[in-house]
Structure formats: structure tokens, C-alpha cells
Chains A and B, each alone.
Chain A
Amino acid sequence: MTWLSIIIAGLLTYFTRMAMIALVGREMLSDRVKEVLAYVPSAVFPAIIFPAIFINDYGTFVQINDPKIFAAIIAIIVGYFSKSIISTILAGLFSYWLLVFFIFN
């Protein structure tokens, strides 16, 4: 039963990935739509970023002085100037550890 659900969930997921690539032709998208689609990364990824920072494991808002907020700000600053993915992630992670293990303790 669970296997069946997984297979259906998998087919559904595959459909979301395949539908626009395989079934929609370039000519079906107007220039205006293409212009809007240029915003997709900016319009999608914050929906993953914001809850992961501002909402805790129990589904409630974190405190305003949560270490994740400070660490994210540092990651943004480092990422903005370094243009490096590795530096962005490590700066965020190390400042998070610094705050959690040394300052907030």
C-alpha cells in the first residue's frame, strides 16, 4: 500500500518535471510570459529560504534574536561580495555554529 502511494507520488513528481519541458512548445509561450519567467528563481527560492530561517521545527515563528537570522545575514553579505557558493554556505554555517556554541550558550 505504501509502495503504491510512493509510486503515485513519484509519477506525480515526474509529471511536474516533465509537463512543461516535453508538452509545451516554445511557440506556446508569449514574449511577455518569457519575461515574467525570468523572475522564477527570485519568485520560488525565498519560499524555501524564509520558512527555514523564520519558522522553527514546531511551526511557530522564531525569536527576533535567533542565531539563524544573524547567520543568514552574514551569509548574504559574504555571498554578495564573494560571488562564491561555497563561501556563502560556509560563512552562514560557521557563524551559526559560533553563535549557537559560544555566544548564545
Chain B
Amino acid sequence: MLSKKKLFTRGMFDVAPHMLSVIPFGIICGAIGVELGFSPYLVYGMSIIIFGGASQIVFLQLLSGGASSLIAVTSVGIINSRHLLYGAVLSEYLNKLSLIKKLFISYIVVDQAFAESAKFFKSNKSEEYLHYHLIGAGCTLWACWQISTLAGIILGSFVPEELGLKFTIPLTFIAIVVQDLKKLDHVIVMLVCGISSLLFFNAPLKSYIIISPIIALFVASLILRLKK
């Protein structure tokens, strides 16, 4: 049995490499908000209230482009609806926790924390304090996101755009799924999702981000049926 502290630290270490993309993205996110003419308090408030990188940028871009608040809010909801899938995966492991703990942990379930903790949970099912891994991972990402968006707001886009640091976002997610390329069924599911996302990229309100996973999961269920 690993102690709570060990699991928390393990979670921190497991997400640490993703800082290579989270920190530049946070800086860009903060800087863009101020450049678009929003008050620094508002831009920073989003990092605490919404705490979801891509959706924060989309929200501000839509509003500054003259879209209605309704459209901006709906887009944030659609972009972030993928968390429903993360929650469904995690619920199996967080089932025995008290409601208060569940409500707290929910706030810090972000992409990289989900990916690393789900991986860890799968191979350490018997650990009693499993959720401390997710808390460690989530809190680390939260702290980095706050500091880096704040840095972007105060210092502006001090990272030159030519460096193309936005490209670290797809790289982070490649690092997460790359080992699953060993399995043919996963490769098929990934390609279905990726190609769907390109086909539906122009669907309204950024809905490609949830349409493609639904199509891909449907294909996954067909594959499972064929396997039996």
C-alpha cells in the first residue's frame, strides 16, 4: 500500500512533463485575453472560474468578435463536454469517496490529469488512496495554469510567436496516446476520431470536439462486438 503522500507526489511527477506544453499555452492564453482588450481581472478570473485552456481562448475570441454571450457560453459547454467522458472513466475508481471529496476532485479533472491518473489507476487498482494520485496531478496542473496565465497577463506575449509554442499542445496529447499505437483496435479508434475531427471541424459551436469522440466510441463498441 502506498501512502497518501507518496500517491500525491507520484501524481505530481506523472503530469510534470506536460508542463512543457501547459506553461507556454497558459502564457499565450493570458496574453491573448489582454491583447483582445479584456480587463486583466476578467482574463485571470476565467482561469479560476472556468479553468479550461482551449475553452477560455475560444470564449474571449468569440466575444471580441461580436458573438453573443449565449454563443460564447454554449461553445465553452460543448468544448468542455468531453469531461463527461473522463468522469465516466474515473467514476469507477472514485466510487467509494464521500460526496464532498468527489465535488472537490471534479474541479481539477483536466485533460492531462485525467490521462495520467486513468493510466495509473488501471495498473494500481488495489491501492486504497488511489484518488491522491489524481489530486496531486490536478493540483499541479491547476497551480501551473494559474501562474502561467497570470504571467501572460502581466508580461504580455513575451514568448515570440515565431517559436510556434502552440504546437506543444498536439505534442502533449501525442505523448499521451502514442503507446496505444501498439494495439490495432486503438489505432482504428484514433484514426476515426482524428479524421472525423477534420471532417466536422466547421460544425457549429466547435462541436467537432465531442462529435468525433462519439463516432470513435461507437466504432470502438463495434470492434468489441466483432472481437467476441
> What residues make up the interface of A, taking CB atoms closer than 8 Å to B?
1-10, 12-14, 16-22, 24-26, 29, 32-55, 59, 61, 68, 71-72, 75-76, 79-80, 83-86, 88-90, 92-93, 96-97, 100
Q: Are A51 and B20 interface neighbours, CB within 8 A?
A: no
Q: Which residues of chain B are near A4, meaning CB under 8 Å?
A: 69
Q: Are A47 and B163 interface neighbours, CB within 8 A?
A: no
- How many angstroms between the C-alpha atoms of A3 and B185 in the bound complex? 44
Instruction: Report, nearest first, the 4 A-B pairs whose CB atoms are least far apart.
Output: A20-B87, A10-B49, A43-B216, A46-B194
Q: B174 contacts the other chain (Cβ, under 8 Å)?
A: yes
Q: Are A89 and B20 interface neighbours, CB within 8 A?
A: yes
- How many angstroms between the C-alpha atoms of A36 and B227 in the bound complex? 13
- How many angstroms between the C-alpha atoms of A86 and B16 in the bound complex? 9
Which candidate, B4-12, B105-113, B139-147, B149-157, is the interface stretch facing chain A?
B105-113
Known: A20-B84, A40-B89. A45 touches B169 (CB 8 A): no
Q: Are A49 and B194 interface neighbours, CB within 8 A?
A: yes
- How many angstroms between the C-alpha atoms of A82 and B204 in the bound complex? 39
Known: A21-B87, A42-B186, A47-B208. A9 touches B193 (CB 8 A): no
**A-B residue pairs in contact (CB < 8 Å), sample of 8:** A16-B84, A18-B87, A25-B95, A40-B213, A42-B220, A46-B194, A47-B193, A71-B167
Task: Report which of B59, B95, B107 forms a contact with A14, defined as CB distance below 8 A.
Answer: B107
> What residues make up the interface of B, taking CB atoms closer than 8 Å to A?
17-18, 20-21, 38, 42, 45-46, 49-52, 54-55, 59, 63, 69, 72-73, 76-77, 80-92, 94-95, 99, 102-103, 105-107, 109, 111, 115, 118, 162-181, 185-186, 189-198, 201-202, 208-209, 212-213, 216-217, 220-221, 224
Most B CB within 10 A of own CB, among A13, A42, A59, A88? A42
Nearest Cβ in chain B — how far from A46, in angstroms? 4
Nearest Cβ in chain A — how far from B116, in angstroms? 9
Q: Interface SS of chain B: helix, strand, loop or mixed?
A: helix
Q: Are A93 and B167 interface neighbours, CB within 8 A?
A: yes
Known: A16-B83, A36-B224, A40-B89. A47 touches B213 (CB 8 A): yes
Task: Report which of B89, B162, B169, B220 forms a contact with A48, defined as CB distance below 8 A.
Answer: B169
Q: Are A89 and B178 interface neighbours, CB within 8 A?
A: no
Q: Are A97 and B163 interface neighbours, CB within 8 A?
A: yes
- How many angstroms between the C-alpha atoms of A57 and B56 in the bound complex? 17
Q: Are A21 and B167 interface neighbours, CB within 8 A?
A: no
Most B CB within 10 A of own CB, among A4, A5, A20, A79? A20
Known: A9-B59, A45-B177. A20 touches B171 (CB 8 A): no
Q: Which residues of chain B are near A22, meaning CB under 8 Å?
A: 99, 102-103, 106
Known: A9-B77, A39-B220. A47 touches B197 (CB 8 A): yes
Q: Are B102 and A18 interface neighbours, CB within 8 A?
A: yes
- How many angstroms between the C-alpha atoms of A57 and B136 in the bound complex? 34
Task: Report which of B46, B88, B181, B195 forms a contact with A80, defined as CB distance below 8 A.
Answer: B181
